[in-house]
Structure 1
Amino acid sequence: MTGKSLTMLADAPLTERERRRSLVAVIACISVVGMGLGVSIPLLALMMERNGVPASIIGLNTAMPALATFLMTPFIPALLRRIPAIPFLLGCIAISAIAMPSYYYFPNIWLWFFIRFMNGLALTGLFVVSEFWVNMLADDRNRGRLIGIYGTVLSCGFASGPVLLFLVGTEGVAPFAVIAALILSAAVPLVLFGRGLAPRVTERPSHAFVTFLVAAPAATLAGFVYGATETNVFNMLPVYGVRIGLTEQYAAFVLSLFAAGNILLQIPIGMWSDRTDRRLVLLFCASIGLLGTLALPFVMHSVWLFAPSLFFFGGVVVGMYTVGLTLLGERFKGANLAAANAAFVMMFSLGALVGPPMAGVAMDLWNPHGLIVAMSSLCGLYVLVAGWRYLTAPRAPRQ
């Protein structure tokens, strides 16, 4: 695909100016949603802890969005054939915005399970369709860079959320009102810049949903492994740090380093994937994930060792998500790409669901280093898959 042979997103090929407007619309939309999530996740956890909710119930409640994602994603391509992308996204934004004050006005933990599940359905729609939209806008020369920009802006939104929470506080209705307003503001760029430019799905995918695991195992399994790795880092690595003798503040600091790597290295990795075989990049990212995980016990006691290690580890491992999405855009088009994106997000959510329980059991069996065994085992298995695909899969032509 060249600059003059543009992806069909609307009724006619888009001009370069329309492509830029379309990209601004979808990235601005998802970044604002990311900021809202970055506020709401710690806010809800703090409220549950403040109200004496047991940790097991907090964990189950926190898993509701991942469960919603797992159940919702197979149906999104069919929904997009019936509902245009912009109204679909606006509906998801409205549901998510309504959910925020609902947490405050219905302070019952069992109702929160339902509210959080419904919010998870809406967020799933936002993320799957936005990633599909960005993939449709890209061509094979800039796909990695565009998805890297998308991921970086989204990570910045997540990272800025806790800062906003610090400013507005955690008491009363104010933080929920601010989050709802943020999420509603995501509709503005869609209406101003995206109208008439969003992707349309009119045909059925030629692949069944589950066959993407066979058709593109390196890409789809990248989502699973990164989902498990990221969730384990944010949920279990601080616990591991405390158990090996670090202070809680020191152990939590590793998350900031991991997130900083996420933000700063996605675009360079995406640009690299535009210039070489993307399966090689996936193999590199998975290998760093394996080596970085195995190195954790040896670097955690020295800030001079773990600071650069966690930064590089976080920045490279997230490449599995970025490049996995990019590889799907290289392989599939139209309705098949929408279904492939949905399969990828479902695999990510499945990894997020099974990763922490698997790591928790491993830590109970070998305290605390079972976490390292669990995380390195997943990365090691994926290294074998990525290496096999790199050596055996046909090479996509470069333009």
Structure 2
Amino acid sequence: MQDPTTLTMLAEAPLSPAERRRSLIAVIACISVVGMGLGVSIPLLALLMERQGVPASIIGLNTAMPALATFLLTPFIPALLRRVPAITFLLVCILVSAIAMPAYYFFPNVWLWFPIRFANGLALTGLFVVSEFWVNTLADEKNRGRLIGIYGTVLSCGFASGPVLLFLVGTQGLLPFATIGSLILLAGVPLILFGRGLAPRVTERPSKSFVSFLVVAPAATLAGLVYGATETNIFNLLPVYGVRTGMTEQTAAFVLSIFAAGNIFCQIPIGIWADRADRRMVLLVCALVGLLGASAIPLVAHNLWLFAPTLFIFGGVVVGLYTVGLTLLGQRFRGADLASANAAFVLMYSTGALIGPPMAGIGMDLWDPHGLIVVMAGLCGLYLAVAGWRYFTAPR
């Protein structure tokens, strides 16, 4: 493998430890604020469309706009990073996303929200792909899993705090949109204060086509797909599952926070474990525990005291697929190849988020309500087979 410094230059020379810390603080602080803004905007838009009497089918199509944006943008991000510095790219994405927020208020027609949400989806895709590439580039093999775990934990905390902020600012008038837009603009502050001259640069072309990165590291990229489908299924359909198994609506909504808590508390420990063990084996264990955890949910769904810890463990372990999948990409690729692999990973996550809910919805229609669990367990089982095949057949 080529020396990473010949592929990705950080400013004009390798960073000192202090510069590396500043650079990491800049990008992780940036993405945490973006996560908070995203955590407010998703439920806000859904509530407003429901209040306007928008049909559920139209709400679903509108919600799919960011995924469509991801499909169209991700193949071009590595080429854009060769032409535009990473920090400039992120600041443009922040500006576009911040402007999109008040645009929803000033153009309240749901059909105009389609292009607005698409533009916002382009910006968010750029933010996530480049920030993950940034962290992966700065990490070394001794701490890569831990750093990506910290990144994911901070992002999850920001996202989880969004509904709390929405409760404080409400859903009426300009205030929530102005608040979200201002929050997203603030994400640029740490980049400007701490990140100038310290962002990774891409100076060469990838060694292979973008599509090839979807299949050249299947254990890593498919981990993104499985987690994207699982996370989206949980946040969209678990409350429905809870009500249909006898929970009150309040309890069914509350259990989402248990899944989120698993996400928050388990990413760093799993990342540290991935730094000390064979990362492909860690993916295998995460998939196996995810399969067993999902399979156990119907057995404990009627007892909250058993359901809560089961869901916590399930949420904590399946997010390990995302954390360790990204870590594995950073271990294998450098420079433009890493930028392309990260973009492919985000594309696979969005694919999972797009196909997961329809699959789970059909499953629930066929076996109400446990079809949701069958779909999630099936995804973990299929991934376990792929990851196991790669573990035992791919060269070490």
Aligned partner letter, 2:217: A
1:80 aligns with 2:81: yes
Unaligned runs of 5+ in 1: none
Aligned partner letter, 1:159: A
Q: What's the RMSD between the two structures over aligned residues?
A: 1.6
Instruction: State how far apart, in whole Å, the 1-side matches of 2:368 and 2:313 are.
Output: 26
Q: Give the share of equivalent positions with the same residue, in percent.
A: 79
Instruction: State how far apart, in whole Å, the 1-side matches of 2:312 and 2:352 are.
Output: 22
Instruction: State how far apart, in whole Å, the 2-side matches of 1:363 and 1:6 are.
Output: 48
**1:136 matched to which residue of 2?**
137
Instruction: State how far apart, in whole Å, the 1-side matches of 2:311 and 2:378 are.
Output: 19
Structure 2 contact 214–345 (Cα < 8 Å) conserved:
no
**CA deviation map 1:377-399 (0-9, x unaligned):** 1111000011112222233xxxx
**1:31 matched to which residue of 2?**
32
Structure 2 contact 204–336 (Cα < 8 Å) conserved:
yes
Pairs within 5 Å for 1:303-342 = 303-342=304-343
Instruction: State how far apart, in whole Å, the 2-side matches of 1:216 and 1:6 are.
Output: 20
User: Per-residue deviation at 1:113?
Assistant: 0.9
Shift in CA distance, 206/139, structure 1 to aligned 2, threshold 3 Å: same
User: SS of 1:209's equivalent?
Assistant: coil
Scaled by the length of structure 1, what TM-score is found? 0.96
**1:157 matched to which residue of 2?**
158
Aligned partner letter, 1:241: G
1:365 aligns with 2:375: no
Aligned partner letter, 2:154: V
User: Per-residue deviation at 1:6?
Assistant: 12
Structure 1 contact 6–13 (Cα < 8 Å) conserved:
no
Instruction: State how far apart, in whole Å, the 1-side matches of 2:7 and 2:215 are.
Output: 29
User: Per-residue deviation at 1:371?
Assistant: 1.4
How many residue pairs get aligned? The number is: 394
Instruction: State how far apart, in whole Å, the 1-side matches of 2:393 and 2:141 are.
Output: 21
Instruction: State how far apart, in whole Å, the 2-side matches of 1:80 and 1:140 are.
Output: 24
Scaled by the length of structure 2, what TM-score is found? 0.97
Instruction: State how far apart, in whole Å, the 1-side matches of 2:47 and 2:174 are.
Output: 14
User: SS of 1:335's equivalent?
Assistant: helix
**1:228 matched to which residue of 2?**
229
1:9 aligns with 2:10: yes
Pairs within 5 Å for 1:226-305 = 226-305=227-306
Instruction: State how far apart, in whole Å, the 2-side matches of 1:379 and 1:63 are.
Output: 24
User: Per-residue deviation at 1:342?
Assistant: 0.2
Instruction: State how far apart, in whole Å, the 1-side matches of 2:221 and 2:313 are.
Output: 23
Aligned partner letter, 2:338: L
User: SS of 2:276's equivalent?
Assistant: coil
1:194 aligns with 2:195: yes
**1:106 matched to which residue of 2?**
107
User: SS of 2:226's equivalent?
Assistant: helix
Instruction: State how far apart, in whole Å, the 2-side matches of 1:259 and 1:387 are.
Output: 27
Runs of 4+ in 1 over 6 A off after TM superposition: 4-7
User: Per-residue deviation at 1:201?
Assistant: 0.7
**CA deviation map 1:244-272 (0-9, x unaligned):** 22221121122100000100110000000
Aligned partner letter, 1:144: G
User: Per-residue deviation at 1:202?
Assistant: 1.1
Instruction: State how far apart, in whole Å, the 2-side matches of 1:283 and 1:163 are.
Output: 35
Instruction: State how far apart, in whole Å, the 2-side matches of 1:5 and 1:15 are.
Output: 17
Instruction: State how far apart, in whole Å, the 2-side matches of 1:60 and 1:254 are.
Output: 26
Structure 1 contact 7–14 (Cα < 8 Å) conserved:
no
**2:378 matched to which residue of 1?**
377
User: Per-residue deviation at 1:5?
Assistant: 12
**2:43 matched to which residue of 1?**
42
Moved more, 247-256 or 33-42: 247-256
